[in-house]
Structures are given as C-alpha cells and as structure tokens.
Structure 1
C-alpha cells in the first residue's frame, strides 16, 4: 500500500510540473525532458509512469477535471440545510469558474490544453468528456431549481442547459483573457442574476 501511495503522489507531482510549464511556456514546452527537469526527477523516473509525452499531457489535463469535480462534490457535501437553495446551487456552479487564484491558474492551463486539442486527439477526447461533465452539472442544477420551483415551467430544460453551460464557458473566457473588464466578482454576479431570472 505505501508504494502505491508513493506512485500516486509521484504522478500528481508530475502533473503539477506539467501545469507549471504549460502556464509559463505553453503545452509545446511540456516535453518529457522539460517535465523531468521541472519536477527534479530523471527522465527514467518520468518514463516509468508515462510512456510518452501524450500520456503525460493527458494525465495532467484529466487531473484538472479531477480537482474541479472534487471541489463541486465537497461543496455539495458541506451545504447547510437552512441555506438558500439558490445560493447553494450558485456556489456549486461557481466552483467551475475562475474566481480565485487557484481556479484562475487551472482555467489558463485548461485553455492552453484545449488550444492544443487539434494536434492531439487524446486531449480532444478529454475536452469532450469535460464538456459533458459540465453540461451534466448544469442540467442537474436546473433540475434542482425546477424541483424548488425556481425554474419557470415554460422554460425548456435542454435550452436552459445549453444557455447555462455557454454562460459558464463565456464567463471563464472573459475572466481569463479580459480580466480588466470581467472581474471574478462580476462573473459571480452575472451567474447569480441569471439563476435568479430563471424563475420568471
């Protein structure tokens, strides 16, 4: 068991090294040699866990999803029963927005990965999985709003799912590349106003 834990920690350490390189130099800079240097490991150590650069990049990209999903799950588990349900759902959705330094860094890294998807089918597949996960999150939140009578009966669930997903995607892009106009606080306000308006 201790050996497995060490292996898991080593893989995470390598993923974090990839993130630092991607944030600094872009995806193209995250070669096996470069990642080994960044993580202060030998190339042999890196290749013990990942047989190629593609495998390494795919693991690092997937780990971004794992961390975001863990935040959403933790928020759901810690929700207070007397808390306003609309606030609970807004907080859940905010976990996929870059509203703090950690999430902003993740969003920048994610955007760098997605820009590289046309060159790497493996990354493109992970991007599609992530899109489906966020879309599912949006849909489930809207279903909850409907059960709470916070989603007007006239609204189409499929359409509203796409609208909410597009809003999250757009706000993320604006906060990352247009921060002087779209602050994290403004992004949060826009999301919450959108959710409140769904009852009408």
Structure 2
C-alpha cells in the first residue's frame, strides 16, 4: 500500500531544506535540484509540490516571515496584562519582543541569515519585492506600536517622538542583525543584547504601573 504523505508537512520539509541550503551556501545555491538533494527527495517530488523555483522561493520567504510572526504572537500571549503591569514588567515585555528579532540562538540566527539573503535578492527580484516590503513594514510597525504604548504609559522619556524613535530603533535592530550574521566574530549575541538594552535604557524611564516616574527615588 503506498505511503500517505501530508502535502502541507512535505512542503514545510522542503522549506526547511531551502533554509539549510541558504544558511550554508547562500540563496544562489538554492536551486530545485540542490534543495531536493538536501531534502532527500528527487527533483520530481519537489516539482509535485512547487510549480517552479520562484514559487518555492516565495513560499519559503512567506514561511520564514510566518514563523517569526507566530513566535512574536506567542510571546505576546504569554505576557502579563500591560494595563495592570508595572513599568518594569512592561519594559521586560518590550525587551523580550525585540530580542526575538535578533540572531541570539541557532534558530533565530538561521532566520536572520535567510532574511538577509532574501532581502538582498529582493532589491533586484520584483517577485520578492512585495514580501520584502511587507517584512520591513511589519518590523517597523511592531516597533512603532511598542513605543507608542510605552509613551502612553509614561515609559518613554519626555520629549521623545515615538515615530522618530521607532525609526532609530528599527535601524539599530536591522544593523545588529546584518552585522551579526556577516561578522559573527565581531558582534556576538551578547553584544547585540547589550547594545539593544543600552539603547532602550536611554529612551525609557523608570516608572510604576501608574506611569509615575521613579527615576531618582
């Protein structure tokens, strides 16, 4: 009796193979044949689930974005109620969310590496352009929402504009991600966290749950 194959699971297995090839050898080496070899399949099997290379790349990029989004959503679900949380708890939630975007372990490093490869390709590949734009808008939007919520609770330093600070923080995180995967010997995960938290300390206040500053008490 022929073995039943779950199409959705098999497509994700192929995507995992894409990621491994991209992390190890770069996006240029993620041909259908190389991906099939990596997945332990023949190329006909890969073509059964993906019409061609472009469809596979788009599906892989979408899968990468979805994985990060799902992890962020899970982090938010597990966070305390920000309406009643203390200032320290709110800042901890912000710290946790932003750290999810950094390459701090093997999983996140692979995701960021794949992200960098796709973003670079999207500059000249219009097929990837819409997803690249969606990814950029998603990151900037998340950071902007975080800073507006901090501002509303009195956690952002007085006089700072959330929109301007969102651009600065967005640029910092993207820069940390890029340099960490390109130059891991120069920028370690610990150094990324230290830089991020140092910046956050400069733009946030120490405040209690009522939004009253406790700095200097």
TM-score by length of 1: 0.90
> 3-state DSSP class of the match of 1:116?
helix
1:3-62 Cα offsets, whole Å, 9 max, x none, are xx9121111111111111112222121111222222122322212221110110111112
- 2:107 maps to 102
Q: 2:129 is matched with which residue?
A: 124
Residue 65 in structure 1 maps to residue 65 in structure 2: yes
Larger Rg: 2
Q: Which residue of 2 aligns with 1:14?
A: 14
- Residues 153-184 of structure 1 show CA distances to partners (whole Å, capped at 9, x for unaligned) of 41122211111110110111122122223211
Once the two structures are TM-superposed, the CA of residue 119 in structure 1 deviates from its matched residue by 3.8
| Worse-superposed segment, 164-173 or 177-186 | 177-186
Q: Please tell me whether the aligned partners of residues 151 and 162 of structure 2 are also in contact (alpha carbons under 8 angstroms).
A: no
CA-atom RMSD in angstroms: 1.8
Shift of 1:149: 0.6
Equivalence for 2:212: none
Q: How many Å separate the matches in 2 of 1:38 and 1:136?
A: 35
Which residue number corresponds to residue 44 of structure 2?
44
In the alignment, structure 2 segments of 5+ residues that lack a partner are 206-217
Whole-Å separation in 1 of the counterparts to 2:198 and 2:90 = 14
Instruction: Choose from 124, 141, 153 the match for 1:136.
Output: 141
Query: In 2, distance between residues paired with 1:155 and 1:137?
Result: 18
How far off its partner does 1:124 sit?
2.3
Deviations 1:124-172 (A, max 9, x none): 2211110000001101110121122111341122211111110110111
Offset from partner CA, 1:70-116 (integer Å, 9 cap, x none): 11111111124556210111101110110111111111122122222
Matched length: 196
| Corresponding residue for residue 208 of structure 2 | none
User: Which segment is superposed worse, 101-110 or 117-126?
Assistant: 117-126
Matches of 1:169 and 1:146, distance apart in 2: 22
The answer for unaligned runs of 5 or more in structure 1 is: none
Aligned to 2:25: 25
Higher helix share: 1
- State the secondary structure of the residue aligned to 2:17: helix
Partners in 2 of 1:46 and 1:181 — Cα distance?
A: 38
Q: 1:199 to 1:28 in 2, by over 3 A?
A: closer
